[in-house]
Amino acid sequence: MTETVRWLTPEEQRAWRGFVRLHERLGGRLGRLLQSESKVSPADYAVLVHLTDSPEGRQRHQDLARALEWEKSRMSHHIARMAGRGMVVREECPEDGRGAFVVITDAGREAIEAAAPRHVEAVRELFLDHVTPAELRVLTEISERVIRRMDEDPS
């Protein structure tokens, strides 16, 4: 097979590399802040956010893995570590003997409630304070469009 590669134009490359650098640097700074100030890893925070956004603080194991774009083994290992620290529990799914729920505990709620205010403050300081409302709307539109497209083709 000989497909023609659609190389990035200089403008596309600049935009893409800038986006990647922004994502890496923001993630790194926010992750270090979470870890140092709240003893919550970025992965813990991501799991806890998804669970607190879910009714009753629970999500099916596979749905949580899909939402976070994690492989099954990574999800299993991370949930086991979080369970060992008392942040979540794993509950069997009565309707599906092979499935399981991940459920946030009181300790998990306390952890995210303690971490969230500083995290939000850092998101504002590092990102939101440097974009205009119009830029934020455009970013939202772009993000939602790309995510919709990825959801249509989850491969």
For 121-134, how does the pLDDT look when each residue is reduced to its tens digit (9 = 90+)?
999 999 999 999 99
| b (16+ CB within 10 A) / e for 65-97 | beebebeeeebeebbeebbeeebbeeeeeeeee
- Distance in angstroms (rounded) separating the CA atoms of residues 62 and 60: 6
- All structural domains of the chain: 29-152 (1.10.10.10)
* pLDDT band per the 50, 70, 90 thresholds, residue 60: very high
Is residue 95 pLDDT above 90, yes or no? no
- Of 37, 47, 113, the C-alpha closest to 75 is 47
Model's pTM, two decimal places? 0.87
Is residue 2 pLDDT above 70, yes or no? no
Is residue 103 pLDDT above 90, yes or no? yes
pLDDT at 1: 57
The side-by-side arrangement of strands in the sheet containing 88-93 is 58-60, 96-104, 88-93
